A and B are shown apart, each in its own frame.
Chain A
Amino acid sequence: NAGVTQTPKFQVLKTGQSMTLQCAQDMNHNSMYWYRQDPGMGLRLIYYSASEGTTDKGEVPNGYNVSRLNKREFSLRLESAAPSQTSVYFCASISTGTGGYEQYFGPGTRLTVT
């Protein structure tokens, strides 16, 4: 049981390049999330997917697109990277149960756009 996995761990892009961040979870969770974390800003929600086949915008969606490929996978795409997108990106999924619910995070992708 790997939990939430993300690839790549590190990436450097030039302005205008595109890339896709991959995320997968093996816990059979319905809901998945993409956050970015910047110094002094906490985690900000980019997009989320409440279930397979649905996606919704979060707090800071501009410049990003997402795909919920199946229940396990939720990818984040930067079509034309900008220096303002330099950040740490976390993918997460939620477990709901009798004890409440817990959001599990992947290890993060550290992205630098030059």
Chain B
Amino acid sequence: RKEVEQDPGPFNVPEGATVAFNCTYSNSASQSFFWYRQDCRKEPKLLMSVYSSGNEDGRFTAQLNRASQYISLLIRDSKLSDSATYLCVVNRKKAGKLIFGQGTTLQVKP
């Protein structure tokens, strides 16, 4: 079993839709959690960190459920420019190794 698991998709949604991705992690010692975005044939870039209290950045909301060991990302009012692969990332210790999920692909259609 992979340490970080995501549904690879693709998720095909129309513009303006709300879409949610989930990610599960197996190591209960994981301390830090992130969502990265990766555009086709480009490097990953940090989208947002995920905190236990939940956090929001514009149209993006991230949630962490430590008891169930899953992380979610909600995108509201989807734009064409949101089309990308979203990577769930966990870290077991501060400034240590990051473990990446395989990514979830989102395609937003006009």
Contact = CB atoms under 8 A, between A and B. Distances in A.
Interface of A: 30-31, 33, 35, 40-45, 48, 50, 58, 90, 94, 96, 99-103, 105-108
B57 interface: no
Q: For chain B, which range describes its interface: under 10, 10 to 19, 20 to 34, or 35 or more residues?
A: 20 to 34
Interface in B69-101: 87, 94-95, 97-101
- Which secondary structure dominates where chain A touches chain B? strand
Interface stretch (B14-22, B44-52, B58-66): B44-52
B97 A58 contact: yes
B87 A43 contact: yes
Contact of A106 (B41, B43, B46): B43
A55 to B, nearest CB: 13
A41 B4 CA distance: 11
18 contacts: A31-B95, A33-B97, A33-B98, A35-B100, A40-B8, A41-B102, A42-B87, A42-B100, A42-B103, A43-B87, A45-B98, A45-B99, A50-B95, A94-B95, A96-B94, A105-B44, A105-B45, A106-B43
Contacts of B8: 40
The 6 closest A-B pairs by CB, nearest first: A105-B43, A42-B102, A43-B100, A42-B100, A102-B46, A96-B95
B42 to A, nearest CB: 7
A108 B95 contact: no
A101 B95 contact: yes
Contacts of B42: 107-108
